[in-house]
Amino acid sequence: MSSPHSPNQNHLLAALPTAEFERLAAHLELVPMPLGEILYEPGGQLQHGYFPTTAIVSLHYVMESGASAEAAGVGNEGVVGISLFMGGDTTPSSAVVQTAGHAYRLERRLLKQEFNRAGLMQRLLLRYTQALITQLAQTAACNRHHSVEQQMCRWLLLTLDRIPSRELVMTQELVASMLGVRREGITEAAGKLQHAGFIRYRRGHITVLDRSGLEIRACECYAVVKKELNRLLSDVRYRQGIAAVVR
């Protein structure tokens, strides 16, 4: 049986003190996030902030040619819609659901209002934003300097950190779109990882068999992103009884 939905499955919401959380709880709306759903498009006005619990959202940039690549992913460690509280309101990127699941959304006015209280929510959101900026910068460097196999290992590991399962519902076409590379490159990289016994790929499903093997094959970019997130949120305390932790 699947576990009941709870805002505490999102690390930022789970870290709020009881008083701050209760102020928002009645306004948090659980929403399903099907694969491929577009939360916002370039230049669009954001209406909500999204706190994923079981879904993963890809922050995508699309070129004039139609080619695209993921700049960062957001799962249960964060929030989608930082431009709402950073003051920009719109963004040149798009946000697309990469892994189906659920999230809690909060109306833009309430998110801004809570941020402007300058309490723990503001500090959490700013720290998370710094971690997201690190992910954006590291992804850009990784895409330029590392092999498709290394990029794929990084991407798989970051995805695994955000879901409870070792199985990803993911086609090679979608992975290629995320990494901004040709499908043939993903086919070759996936073949090498499967031959090494690290993953099993079949009909749009990628099952990770040996996580440590992926960590060995991955470039340093995965560790940099994970270390920075842990550093920024390492002193966060969760409300009593909350199982959520930053891995």
Q: Is residue 244 included in any domain, yes or no?
A: no
Q: Examine residue 128 and state whether it is found in any structural domain, yes or no.
A: yes
Kindly state whether residue 245 falls inside one of the protein's structural domains: no
Per-residue pLDDT tens digits for 5-56: 999 999 999 999 888 899 999 999 999 999 989 998 888 888 999 999 999 9
Concatenate the DSSP letters of all residues of 78-92 into one string.
S-B-THHHHT----S
Average pLDDT of the chain, as a whole number: 87
CB 79 within 8 A of CB 50: yes
Domain-located, residue 2: no
**Is residue 243 scored above 60 in pLDDT?**
no
CA-based nearest residue to 72, from 225, 181, 207: 225
Q: Say if residue 237's pLDDT is above 90.
A: no
Residue 184: inside a domain: yes
Q: Is residue 75 located within the same domain as residue 100?
A: yes
Instruction: Please list, in sequence order, all residues whose beta carbon lies within 8 angstroms of the beta carbon of residue 18, skipping any fewer than 6 positions away.
Output: 239
Whether residue 246 has pLDDT greater than 50:
no
C-beta neighbour count of 191 within 10 angstroms? 13
Alpha helices in 120-202 (DSSP H): 120-145, 148-160, 172-179, 183-195
Do 228 and 193 lie in one domain? The reply is no
Domain that holds residue 120: 7-144+223-233
Residues 71, 171, single domain; the answer is: no
Residues 117 and 167 in one domain: no
- pLDDT one-digit tens code per residue, 172-223: 787 877 787 888 888 899 899 999 999 998 878 899 999 999 999 999 999 9
Q: Does the residue 131 lie in any domain?
A: yes
**Do 129 and 38 reside in the same domain of the chain?**
yes
> Pick the residue with more confidence: 52 or 93?
52
So what's the pLDDT on residue 3? Answer: 60
The residue among 174, 168, 146 whose CA lies nearest residue 69 is 174
3-state secondary structure of 198: coil
CATH code, 123: 2.60.120.10
* Tokens at 32, concatenated: 């399903």
Whichever domain contains 174, its CATH number is: 1.10.10.10
Q: What angle do CA 133, 139, 144 make, to 5 degrees?
A: 135
Same domain? For 110 and 203 the reply is no
Q: Are residues 140 and 160 in the same domain?
A: no
Query: Looking at the 3D structure of the chain, how many domains does it have?
Result: 2
Residues 27, 133, single domain; the answer is yes
Nearest in space to 159 (alpha carbons), one of 94, 95, 225: 225
Residue at 246 is within a domain: no
* Distance from C-alpha of 124 to C-alpha of 31, rounded to nearest angstrom: 22
User: What average pLDDT does this structure show over 49-73?
Assistant: 87
* Percent of the chain whose predicted confidence (pLDDT) is above 70: 94
Give me the pLDDT at residue 9, please.
93
121 and 176, same domain (yes or no): no
**Residues 90, 165: one domain?**
no
179 in a structural domain = yes
What's the confidence (pLDDT) of residue 242? 46
The verdict on 135 and 151 lying in the same domain is no
